[in-house]
Structures are given as C-alpha cells and as structure tokens.
Amino acid sequence: MSGDLLVAKGISKQFGGIEALSELSFEVARGEAVGIVGPNGAGKTTLFNCLLGLDPPDTGTVTFDGVRIDRLPVWRRSRLGIGRTYQRMELFMGMTVADHLLVAEQAATGTFRVWLDFLNRGGPTPTELLHVEEMLEMLGLADVADRPVDGLDLGHARLVELGRAMMGSPQLLMLDEPSSGLDADETARLSAILANVRSARETAVVLVEHDLQLVESSVDRLCVLNFGRMLASGPVDQVLADPEVRQAYLGTGG
C-alpha cells in the first residue's frame, strides 16, 4: 500500500432537517480493506451514497486517486475505478450470469454502445469474453454461467453482484451488506473470495456489514459510525474492545 486512494473530508448530509452525517472524514489506502459498522441509522449507507454520487453531500470533498470526484456523476466515478454492490440486490431478471458480467465489463471500460446492437455489431470481443471467463472461475460460477439469475439461490446471486462490481478491475470495491441473507457456509465462502480478490488484484475494499465475524476475517481496519459521526477507527480488536463502541454498537458497557 502506498498512500491514500480515497479521501473524504468534512462530509455532512441532512434529510428533512435530520443530520445523517456530520463533518465526517474518512480515508482508504491503496489495497486496504476497511470495515464500517454501526447501529441502524448510523449513516453507513448514506456515507456510501455520498462517496459514490447517489446522494451529493451538503458539505465536504471526496478525492479518488488524486482526482476530486464529489461533483462528478455516478458513471464517471465508476469509470475512474470504483465498483459497488447494494444491500438490496439490483440484478436483471432473465439475463444470464455471464451476460451480467459481460455488460458490466463493457460498461466499466466504455465499450458498450446501444447503437452497435441495432446494427448487429455489438458482439463481445475476445478480451471481454476472457475477462468474463476469468471472473466466473474466480467466483466459482462457471457451472451456472448460462443460467438466468432469477433461477439462482441467494448465495450465487450475491456472488453475481460481487462479480459485476469487480468487472473492469476497479481499484476500490465498496460492498454494502454483501452477506445479507446468506447462511454461515455461504458467508465463509464470500470471505474466502474477498481474500482471494485482494491477494490477486490488490483491490481496496470498503465493507459495510452487520456480520462481525465476516468483518473480522476480511478487513485491516474498522470504523464505527454512530449518529453520523466517526466514533472510532483502528485495528479491529482494539475498536471492538472500546467501551464507547460496545455501548453504542454491541449494547453493552463491559
């Protein structure tokens, strides 16, 4: 890791007079995995949306890889090298697993053009197909590549969304509750895949997650939000032992 990849300074956001984020600053180093936890309503998803452009912050700046991005549209931020998953999956029913990854690859690299499809000249390139094949193998999805996503179990569907976020080789993956709805075996598989991705690609990861076991096995540093403010940040064991964190997040002062 060398230097910060993502830097957010003084981020504030209000909704109808309710302060969701208050002068929050946050950074992610290159190749680093950072977990974000906190009670419901702490501002975790709002922070994600402000960083990615879905909810522009009321105050503050966001810089990615040396470029200020807080005024850029979502697609521009994606093209710069940020991938994201959603707590509520956003898959396209009827499309196959492989097609999801192919469209994501083309969108990330800027090669997708609707007008080419109308001219029957929008077929994938050999390089794009190779990247899809590599992702299918990395995620263990090769055996369901041609299956429509609406026929998949939740565990496989979560992996499709993760794979889609990873197409185009982003420098930063932002994962919003990726284990939601998964059982223990599926969560363990997800943890192993994230470790493999970080090892193979040196991808930075920001993980919003309620499953502390997944967080502990997947991140280098833990941040705790509470009422839109940064309550604590540091090594996972140290942060979870903090009395304020235990009171706010774990519901215990001991």
Query: β-strands 33-37, 59-64: how paired?
Result: unpaired
| Across 128-148, average pLDDT | 92
Integer Cα distance of 205 and 198 in angstroms: 8
- Share of residues in the chain with pLDDT > 90 (%): 49
Concatenating the DSSP letter of every residue in 68-86 gives E-TTS-HHHHHHHHEEE--
Query: Which domains, from first to last, does the chain contain?
Result: 4-95+171-250 (3.40.50.300)
Q: What's the pTM? A: 0.85
Q: What pLDDT does residue 33 have? A: 95
Integer Cα distance of 244 and 134 in angstroms: 44
Q: What pLDDT does residue 62 have? A: 96
pLDDT band for position 86 (cuts 50, 70, 90):
confident
Query: Among positive and negative, which fits the CA dihedral 89, 91, 93, 98?
Result: negative
Q: What pLDDT does residue 110 have? A: 66
Concatenating the DSSP letter of every residue in 19-47 gives EEEEEEEEEEETT-EEEEE-STTSSHHHH
pLDDT band for position 148 (cuts 50, 70, 90):
very high
Q: How many CA atoms lie within 13 A of 53 on its CB side?
A: 17
pLDDT band for position 125 (cuts 50, 70, 90):
confident
For residue 35, pLDDT over 70 is answered with: yes
- Mean predicted lDDT score pLDDT of the chain: 87
Q: How many CA atoms lie within 13 A of 7 on its CB side?
A: 9
Q: What is the pLDDT of residues 170-205, one digit of tens each?
A: 999 999 989 888 888 888 888 998 888 888 888 999
Higher pLDDT, 86 or 99: 99
> Coil, strand or helix: which one is 168?
coil
Q: What pLDDT does residue 238 have? A: 92
Q: What pLDDT does residue 252 have? A: 59
Q: What pLDDT does residue 247 have? A: 82
For residue 120, pLDDT over 50 is answered with: no
| Across 142-163, average pLDDT | 91
